[in-house]
Amino acid sequence: MNEEMKECYDTGVGKSSIVWRFVEDSFDPNINPTIGASFMTKTVQYQNELHKFLIWDTAGQERFRALAPMYYRGSAAAIIVYDITKEESFQTLKNWVKELRQHGPPNIVVAIAGNKCDLTDAREVPEKDAKDYADSIHAIFVETSAKNAININEVFIEIIQNKIPKQKHIFTETRGCGSS
């Protein structure tokens, strides 16, 4: 991990909630923080083909951040999550992008998810700023709400459209610090 990742703001951005919404179509307002990492799978049909996602949901707490490379090293795609109501989480995300570029697989598909878009009154990160940043690094970008099921399936469909090989892992993370 680099020096910039000392400050970690990726816990609680909604990584697990996004995965739960995608895999189980449910939402738990009292979900516990992830310990270490959790693993889930989901198969979706898209344009007459089955695509199986093997998803590592990494922990956002700083004490787990050193584990992240174990999960992203073998991954075909990474969903990096920030909270649109927390500017710091967007800055942390940029550090994660740098880390993935430096140490991740060379052709990893990167998707940026600005989660909690249902909390518009508390927004701190303008959608345009995040979209411009994502475009500048050729990443997929969507604003999501795990709570209201907004754009959750769309993130994964966009990853399929970016032509990741079948049966590859997905790594979700939020940071610039660790993952979730």
Closer to ligand GTP by Cβ: residue 51 or 64: 64
The tokens for 28 are 């738990």
The tokens for 46 are 């898209």
CB of 141 vs ligand GTP, minimal distance in Å: 16
Distance CA 119, CA 123 (A): 7
CB of 77 vs ligand GTP, minimal distance in Å: 17
Residue span binding ligand GTP (CB under 6 A) among the ranges 1-9, 14-22, 44-52, 161-169: 14-22
Report the residue from 88, 118, 154, 158 that binds ligand GTP according to the rule CB under 6 A: 118
Instruction: With beta carbons less than 8 A apart as the criterion, state whether 111 and 127 touch.
Output: no
For the chain, the C-alpha Rg in angstroms (whole number) is 15
Q: Which one, of 14, 9, 10, lies nearest residue 149 by Cα?
A: 14
DSSP label at residue 121: G
Residue span binding ligand GTP (CB under 6 A) among the ranges 29-37, 88-96, 106-114, 159-167: 29-37
Closer to ligand GTP by Cβ: residue 84 or 139: 84
Closer to ligand GTP by Cβ: residue 150 or 160: 150
Report the residue from 23, 40, 108, 119 that binds ligand GTP according to the rule CB under 6 A: 119
Instruction: With beta carbons less than 8 A apart as the criterion, state whether 10 and 82 touch.
Output: yes
Angstrom distances, CA of residue 112 to CA of 10, 45, 63, 146, 174? 13, 23, 23, 14, 9
Q: Which one, of 168, 162, 65, lies nearest residue 111 by Cα?
A: 162
User: Is residue 92 a contact point for ligand GTP (CB under 6 A)?
Assistant: no
The tokens for 131 are 């979209």
Report the residue from 5, 37, 59, 80 that binds ligand GTP according to the rule CB under 6 A: 59
Binding mask 125-154 for ligand GTP (x = CB under 6 A): --------------------xxx-------
Amino acid at position 69, single letter:
P
The site that binds ligand GTP (CB under 6 A) totals a number of residues, namely 23
Q: Which stretches of the chain bind ligand GTP, using CB under 6 A?
A: 11-17, 29, 31, 33-34, 59-61, 115-116, 118-119, 145-147, 174, 180
